[in-house]
Amino acid sequence: MSGKLADLTPEMIAAERERFPRVFSMTMKARATHFVLWVGTPCLVLYCLDRFGFFSEKFWGSFGRLGIMFSQMFPPTGWEYMDEYTYAIGETLSMAFIGSLVGGIIALPFAFMASKNMMPVRPVQFSFRRFADVLRASDYLIWGLIFVRAMGLGPIPGIMAIIVIDTGILITLYSEAIENIDRKPIDGIKASGGGRLEVIRFGVIPQVLPVLLSNALYMFESNTRAATILGIVGAGGIGFLLSDNIRAFEFSNACTIIIMIIIVVYGIDYLSKRLRERFIYGDRVSQGHDRPMERVMAKMKD
Amino acid sequence: MNSEAATQTQQLDIADHFELARSEYLGRKRLYMVFFWIGFAISLALAVWHSGFSIAAVVDGLPRTSEFIVRMYSALTIENFYADLIDWFWGFEDWLASLFVSLLMAFLATIIGTTFGGILSFYASRNLAKNYAIYFVTRRTLEIARTVPDIVWALIFIYPFGVGPVAGILALTIHTTGAQGKLFAEVNENIDHKPIDGIRSVGGNWFEEIRFAVVPQVMPNFISYTFWRLALNVQAATVMGFVGAGGIGYELINAVKLLYFLDTGAILLMIICTVFAIDMASEKLRHYIIGKETLVG
């Protein structure tokens, strides 16, 4: 029995195949799953494409109009309305800022109620989690629409919509951060006679604060994106001007606004990245430290 | 004797240096903190002033909002539960059909967008792109596709493609391409390079490197991100109808605009249940596919 590959005879290979079938080929079940996926998905895609008319003359004929529209977009115009646009951009940023701040603060007490290690009564903890899920299940625009209907047009309903969604998402993210803390500092404070509030202040907050702050900052980025579109339902910000201009076929003005949106979103992303590096993680910025961040990023709506 | 004294002064010097550097560092940090809080206070004041935000307005508006929400869900009575339910969901079949359109939109956009995004991501990763120009152009294109919100793409596409799901699908597809391309590129940039060297050493070209060295490494992450993106797209597809780009959003915005409270409540309930279900299913599948420990998120 030497280990050389050349010494293997077909009989030996056959014997091994008999013994370890799964090393040599996929099981029938895996094959069936692959078949269903690789045949079923394209069929479903083709069905959808056909159903929505992607194979029709009308669809392919529309690309001419698309080209005309894009050619009308450039060069961007509307510089004479720049005051109006900057004002609306400022409104967008204000909405995102206030909404993120208030949402980030409101979510904090709820997050403690929604984390397993801080809230021993399981039904209460569970219902707080589900409450957060309900808040974030509808889109920004849906909440914006409801608030606009109830409170009237303007940035305040937009801020309310941002607060609601921000709170919903942050309750979940915060409580996950709280659940992942180290128990030892808490035990230490309890052992030296600390009460419930002292446990939270000195045992929990120092551990979770960097994670909480960076989650809140990520939400600020996400909220800025949302605040640019909330105006479509009348909830303040640049979205109203954008949809108005597009509906009036003023594509070149719309292009200016879109460029402004891109710049603002980039600016906020950059600012939040710098803030995170400088103030939250300080000089502890390292590869390993970004781990909680990746978890957050994966949860974020971009 | 002499050298001992020298060592001592040297040690003192080092200690002094350390103390000096530390106090400098702390002072700088404190200065940054002061700047930060001043900036924060100014931005908050500006934001409040600019948006006209006031606690009074919120306190005034909250009861009206809660009344709105209560009226959305006041259809059911205990005595006559079943009949009330039937009455409440009078348009159930139509709404279900629109919701199904939303789901198909999300599905189609996810599949097509992920395919494009996946292909482009190999050109948009610093370590795989053949040259800097390709990398730069692909990256910027993906960034623009991602930064422009999907509903804005929908607004743009409504003019050439007309009102209907096609505009919504294209909008979601473009946004998905950008978002997936960026996320996938980040995955690509974190791979192990040894398999690539292996393929190159036996004479593989660029496509073979990608196919046999990169794709097997990144596939689980790609699939995981795809399911997650599907859940997000379902949520986004429910509001595409707000601008006329197909799906349940059209029914919802009409019900809200006409102040049909009960219809709004019923449609919203259906949307929330669907988003919930898709969210949970996508999470389960992600865990099933790549295992809990390695899952990002």
> How high is the pLDDT of residue A107?
92
Instruction: Measure CB to CB from residue B51 to each of A94, A133, A246 and give the nearest one.
Output: A94
Q: What is the CA radius of gyration of chain A?
A: 27
Q: Is B3 a residue whose pLDDT tops 70?
A: no
A207/A58 same-domain check: no
Position A36 in a domain? yes
ipTM for the predicted complex comes to: 0.82
Question: Could you list the residue range(s) of the whole structural domain that residue A165 is in?
Answer: 81-299
Instruction: Measure CB to CB from residue A133 to each of B225, B253, B276 and give the nearest one.
Output: B276
8 A C-beta contact, residue B147 and residue A261: yes
In chain B, which residues have their Cβ closer than 8 Å to the Cβ of A134?
Answer: 272
A260/A123 same-domain check: yes
Q: Is B115 a residue whose pLDDT tops 90?
A: yes
Q: Which of A58, A142, A255, A287 to mutate to test the interface with B (most CBs of B within 10 A)?
A: A142
The enclosing domain of A292 has a CATH number of 1.10.3720.10
d(CA A226, CA A218): 13
A136/A213 same-domain check: yes
Position A14 in a domain? yes
Range from A100-109, A213-222, B157-166 that averages highest in pLDDT: A100-109
pLDDT in tens, B227-281: 889 988 999 999 999 988 888 989 899 888 888 888 888 899 899 999 889 988 8
d(CA A243, CA A257): 10
Position A76 in a domain? no
Cβ–Cβ of A150/B235 closer than 8 Å?
no
> How high is the pLDDT of residue A287?
37
A88/A233 same-domain check: yes
Position A74 in a domain? no
In chain A, which residues have their Cβ closer than 8 Å to the Cβ of B108?
Answer: 45, 48-49, 52
pLDDT in tens, B78-107: 777 788 888 888 888 889 999 999 999 999
> How high is the pLDDT of residue A1?
47
pLDDT in tens, A242-297: 988 888 888 888 899 999 999 999 899 888 888 877 766 654 443 333 444 444 44
A66–B contact, CB cutoff 8 A: yes
Cβ–Cβ of A246/B52 closer than 8 Å?
no
A192/A251 same-domain check: yes
pLDDT in tens, B174-232: 999 999 998 898 888 888 888 888 998 998 888 888 888 888 888 888 888 888 899 88
Position A1 in a domain? no
Cβ–Cβ of B58/A278 closer than 8 Å?
no
d(CA A195, nearest CA chain B) in Å: 31
A105/A170 same-domain check: yes
Sign of CA dihedral B233, B235, B236, B239: positive
d(CA A173, nearest CA chain B) in Å: 10
Residues 6+ apart with CB under 8 A from A111: A170, A171, A174, A175, A178
A110/A158 same-domain check: yes
Position A3 in a domain? no
HEC profile of chain B: CHHHHHHHHHHHHHHHHHHHHHHHHHHHHHHHHHHHHHHHHHHHHHHHHHHCCCHHHHHHHHHHHHHHHHHHCCCCCCCCHHHHHHHHCCCHHHHHHHHHHHHHHHHHHHHHHHHHHHHHHHHCCCCCCCCHHHHHHHHHHHHHHHHCCHHHHHHHHHHHHCCCHHHHHHHHHHHHHHHHHHHHHHHHHCCCCHHHHHHHHCCCCHHHHHHHHHHHHHHHHHHHHHHHHHHHHHHHHHHHHHHCCCCCHHHHHHHHHCCCHHHHHHHHHHHHHHHHHHHHHHHHHHHHHHCCCCCCC
pLDDT in tens, A170-227: 998 888 888 888 888 888 888 988 888 888 888 888 888 888 888 888 889 889 989 9
> How high is the pLDDT of residue A301?
42
For range B4-25, the mean pLDDT: 75
A186/A103 same-domain check: yes
Rounded to the nearest 10 degrees, how much is the dihedral formed by the CA atoms of A277, A279, A283, A288?
-50
Count the domains in chain A.
2
Q: Is A45 a residue whose pLDDT tops 60?
A: yes
Confidence of residue B108 (pLDDT cuts 50, 70, 90): very high
For B66, the closest chain A residue by CA position comes to: A150
> How high is the pLDDT of residue A194?
83
Confidence of residue A13 (pLDDT cuts 50, 70, 90): confident
Confidence of residue A302 (pLDDT cuts 50, 70, 90): very low
Position A75 in a domain? no
Q: Is B292 a residue whose pLDDT tops 50?
A: no
8 A C-beta contact, residue A32 and residue A211: no
Which residues, numbered 173 to 202 in chain A, qualify as contacts with chain B under a Cβ-Cβ cut-off of 8 Å? none
Q: Given A18, A40, A67, which residue is the final one in a domain?
A: A67
Number of A/B CB contacts below 8 angstroms equals: 183
A197/A281 same-domain check: yes
pLDDT in tens, B47-57: 899 888 888 88
Q: How far is CA B128 from CA B28, B124, B207, in A?
A: 40, 8, 11
Burial A263-277 (b: 16+ CB within 10 A, else e): ebbeebbeebeebbe
A56/A102 same-domain check: no
A56/A109 same-domain check: no
Mean predicted lDDT score pLDDT of chain A: 83
A85/A63 same-domain check: no
Cβ–Cβ of A249/B179 closer than 8 Å?
no
